[in-house]
Amino acid sequence: MRRRSRGTLMQGARYCGPECLEQALLQVLRRSQRAASPAGLAFHRIPLGLLLLSRQQLTGEQLRTALKLQRESSPASSGKNSGVTNRKIGFWLQDLGFVTEHQVTAALARQWSCPMLRSAPKAMAPNRFPAIPNLLLESFQMIPVEFVEASGRLLMAFSEGIDYTVLYAIERMLGYRTEACLLRPSILQKSLENLGCRTGSGDVIFDRIKDAGECAEIIGNYCTMVRAEEVRVAQCGEHFWVRLERAQKETVTLLMRGWNQARPSALSAQ
């Protein structure tokens, strides 16, 4: 009896063998796929241009000029993808020199009702923060900026908008309470580059997964190979983030993408 394996824990249930675990994984993946939809994204009452106008940082004529340029550059009007399409109004306002990056970020912070981080994080050492895959940080244009282990609080900075579904995923995967703030895109991008240079990600990435069955099989095989004691799975945009927890050993991280996983992020909905 003492030699029997306790199995693998997932979402509060323990599975004794790989077959049972794969079946449970399949249900989790399909349920997450059905639940993922753009409906969870926030749609703001006041558009960014009107918010800048109300703060007297923009004139009506400047806003009309930027909106006209945005419409003329859209795929519907140009009939082709020129590489500058689908850019938000904030980009055009900055490109025309009507507002600064700081003003746009401050207005976005007011839209999202969250604080704005005015300066770059002091230190971006990887061991100061819980491990979040670099691919997800880049995909959602976010970065950890403050972590208080005693209270379990993790502050995440975004550059162009906040996706609360990924914040919830981080809470489920890491067990910490997340809060959000906004940071100027230029500062955040530089911080991401610095963090990427220091980490050298060891995450295992699978692209173009055929279906949920193949995804469940891959995760199950890895669980057996690394002798995982617990599996944590969360959907983050077009990726499934998988953590395989092991006793007194480093966690194995998998990222899976494929089979109609793509969906709009919070940034594309603005």
The percentage of residues in the chain with a pLDDT greater than 70, rounded to a whole number, is: 81
d(CA 169, CA 133): 12
Please give the structure tokens belonging to residue 26.
């399949």
Query: Against a cut of 0.85, is the pTM above it?
Result: no
Let me know if 2 is exposed, middle or buried by CB neighbors in 10 A (0-12, 13-18, 19+).
Answer: exposed
Place of tokens 């069955």: 213
87 in Cβ contact with 73 (< 8 Å): yes
The model's confidence at residue 99, banded by pLDDT at 50, 70 and 90, is very high
* Domains delineated in the chain: 8-35+202-258 (no CATH), 48-112 (no CATH), 115-199 (3.30.300.160)
In this predicted structure, the answer to whether residue 266 has a pLDDT above a threshold of 50 is no
Long-range residue pairs from 239-242, CB within 8 A, at least 24 positions apart, any chain: 239/135, 239/136, 239/139, 240/29, 240/32, 240/215, 241/133, 241/136, 241/169, 241/173
- The string of pLDDT tens digits covering residues 110-135 is 999 999 998 777 655 556 788 899 99
* Euclidean distance between CA atoms 18 and 8, whole angstroms: 9
252: closest CA among 232, 270, 235, 266?
232
pLDDT value at 265 more than 60: no
* CA dist., res. 119 & res. 32, Å (int): 36
3-state secondary structure of 168: helix
Copy the structure tokens of residue 83.
Answer: 């590489």
Q: Cα separations (Å) of 238 from 32, 165, 218, 257?
A: 11, 12, 17, 6
CB-based burial of residue 181 (10 Å sphere; 0-12 exposed, 13-18 middle, 19+ buried)?
middle
As a whole number of angstroms, the distance between CA 229 and CA 75 comes to 49
pLDDT tens profile 228-256: 999 999 999 889 999 999 988 899 999 99
